[in-house]
Chains A and B, each alone.
Chain A
Amino acid sequence: MAKSGAHILLECIAKEGVDVIFGYPGGVTLDIYDAMPEFDIRHVLVRHEQGAVHAADGYARASGKTGVCLVTSGPGATNTVTGIATAYADSIPLVVFTGQVPVNLIGNDAFQEVDILGITRPCTKHNYMVQSVKDLPQIVRRAFYIARSGRPGPVLVELPRNVLNESMKFNYPSEPVRMRTYNPNLKPNLNQLRKAAGAIAEAKRPLFLVGGGVIMANAGEAITRLANRYQIPVTSTLMGLGAFDGTSPLHLGMLGMHGIYAANMAVSKCDLLIAVGARFDDRVTGRVASFAPKAKIIHIDIDPTSIRKSVEVSIPVVADCRLALEELENILERQKIEGSVSSAEWLEQIDAWRRECPTRSATSSAAVTFSSSGQTDIPDDLVSVSADRDKGKAAFVRPQAVIETLYKLAGGAGNKTIIATEVGQHQMWVAQFYPFSHPRTLLTSGGLGTMGYGLPAAMGAQMALPDSLVIDVAGDGSIQMNLQELGTIAANRLPVKVIILNNHYLGMVRQLQEFFYKKNYQAVGMEVQPDFVQLAEAYGLDGYRVTCPDELEPVLREALASERAVIVDIHVEPEENVYPMVPAGSGLDEMLLA
């Protein structure tokens, strides 16, 4: 039977198991929308194409499936770029379909024509233009295959309008996708793994470094078994949080620029670092020359380019993380390695570091005297607030306390609460103060650091997991970058909870100006902002405000229990800083602690 390109496209998408498309229509994609009612695919109309891509990204991270977007040509396509680059930096499987003017107009500077293939070449895993309807099925199938296999990533498919309304006879091909030039290696080299096992057996001060690849490969359980059985402590990158139980005594927390003290010290002193699914980002390593200076490094990653890109490693293993770890387990078993690999001194040393600079108790203790002076709004003069703090009387909630309260109310192993974040101080506080116990429960833009990611990502995650509690922890700066998606949240009755840590600043930038530019605060004030409670109400959502510590827990409790979407605007200490902090160009053991 002859079918139109639009039909064939949707049939191929449906066959990939896609049930949701995040999109925004336009002139050249109308044929697809016309055919859509015939398919069991839900289309979510976003308010901006960037929101569509982040939503598909959040959907993919939370569910492990491939996220799908559909946008029109020209500005529709260019608006996806930040979202695509975000997904590329964090290896998230997406397929982004963009319309295009008909093939005969391409290159003509036609209305809403842009060279989106050229624009996205450096930020996609691959991209395609469909030149003719006969190529359409193969390209769509390859796009999904490339996006989710190997090291996942976004794939863009450009659909010229004529391809969508041309027809051809079509039966969905039964044979699996095979490509001559793309065939990612999944299986580990056993010799390398035997070397790795030998290094583990010899180590006295071993440490696992868990990255986002462990979550991608569903290798968290394998790490957990190995770490527990051989008593190997675990640190995690931002992207790896949740792969290993954050409440386990073996978990040291996140390492890196804003890493936990014990984690950064452990990396600096370990004699064996087993890095799995991590790419040694500069935010993780600090000064490379002094990264893990005493350690032999085992590096397991599916992407050969990750290996020896920034850090020299002794034992590289290019493979799927889960397969590699399972095989490593077998080898250790066969070699009859038993009991704790870590020496007693090593585990004691780690506990000593924890005592030296504890993360949780320090901030939740009464080091700061809160006063519930009934301050209801940001004072005109922010400086007076700092002066207040200096006297030991903060009028505001401490931002770290918000995260801890959030964990108390919604976290823990029993709850698979999903936390999305934007980018900035609040993101680091989430990473430091919210112990993630399950993979795929933290959605955050780690590699690209995209402000405005969290709200649409939370929306996408809520679409994937309608029964889960999904929270976007935001700053007052970031939340304003994709506010328009409140419309999508309202329209689809998605009960997303937005928690704004409102310090009336672009806090992370302000912190850098405080530390390194002598408090010359330029372009970081957010004095003028919407009344977020009224904003929520304007969208038909519920708004709450917290201005003093006493209100924090009861208001959060009520907001989280709501069945509707809510915004909680929490006025926090304006000049709070994220600690520890490793200044640019310093080693991980050279942290600023306060």
Chain B
Amino acid sequence: MRHVLSVLVENEPGVLSRVSGLFSGRGFNIESLNVAPTPDPETSHMTITTFGDDQILEQIVKQLRKLITVVKVIDFSSQATVEREMMLVRVGAEDGVREEILRLADIFRCKVVDVGHTELVLEASGDQEKLAAILSLLQKYGIREVARTGTVAMRRSLQPDYSKEQA
């Protein structure tokens, strides 16, 4: 099963390698990993998408908590969350099809962030299914390049906050 983990870490050199090394060293899977600063300059926030059965996920969470530089780990699979990922797609857009692509972009609320003579760059964001649908629909025009951020996630407000118990 796919799990999204929110991991708060201390901002020290090497922390990313500690986390990624844990996954590779123990044979855990990483589907995506996103790291960015937080308002607190001493910490960074990682969002890790991984998969495995319950026993493996339990190990992943415990092993992450065991790392000295990890402040907090939350497995979002037990709560309601918003998940988003941002994607840039360079897609072929010859004269005859450009309008079609722009309509698709509109339907999916993508932004056109760059225009060339024979191609467009679209910015899309959403959950995994939405991005997969966009890519699928753009396929026939020729996808030339894709850059994705990986998932970021946040718990929804209207529910009990489990994070305190899980920390």
Contacts and interface: CB of A to CB of B under 8 A. Distances in A.
B71 A181 contact: yes
Interface stretch (B13-21, B83-91, B140-148): B13-21
Contacts of A118: 14, 17
Contact of B55 (A122, A125, A308): A308
Contact of B66 (A129, A305, A308): A305
B21 A122 contact: yes
Interface residues of A, number: 17
B68 A181 contact: yes
Interface string B51-70: 00001001100110110111
Contacts of B65: 304
Given A122-B21, A122-B25, A125-B68, A181 B10 contact: yes
A305 B14 CA distance: 22
A146 B59 contact: no
Nearest to B25: A122
Contact of A181 (B21, B55, B70): B70
A308 B21 contact: no
A121 B71 contact: no
- The residue in B21, B59, B68, B70 that gathers the most chain A C-beta atoms within 10 A of its C-beta is B68
Contacts, number: 35
Given A117-B14, A121-B14, A122-B25, A305 B68 contact: no
Interface in A531-572: none
Interface residues of B, number: 18
Contacts of A515: none
A404 interface: no
Contacts of B17: 118, 121
Interface in B109-133: none
B54 to A, nearest CB: 10
Contacts of A303: 66
Contacts of A122: 21, 25
A146 B68 contact: yes
Nearest to B72: A181
A126 interface: yes
A305 B71 contact: no
A309 interface: yes
A334 interface: no
- The residue in A122, A180, A303, A305 that gathers the most chain B C-beta atoms within 10 A of its C-beta is A305
A182 B14 contact: no
Nearest to B18: A121
A121 B63 contact: no
Nearest to B71: A181
- The residue in A122, A181, A182, A309 that gathers the most chain B C-beta atoms within 10 A of its C-beta is A181
B45 to A, nearest CB: 14
B58 A308 contact: yes
B21 A121 contact: yes
Nearest to A129: B13
Interface of B: 10, 13-14, 17-18, 21, 25, 55, 58-59, 62-63, 65-66, 68-71
Interface of A: 117-118, 121-122, 125-126, 129, 146, 179-182, 303-305, 308-309
26 contacts: A118-B14, A118-B17, A121-B14, A121-B17, A121-B18, A122-B21, A125-B68, A126-B68, A126-B69, A129-B13, A146-B68, A179-B68, A180-B10, A181-B10, A181-B68, A181-B71, A182-B68, A303-B66, A304-B65, A304-B66, A305-B62, A305-B63, A305-B66, A308-B55, A308-B58, A308-B59
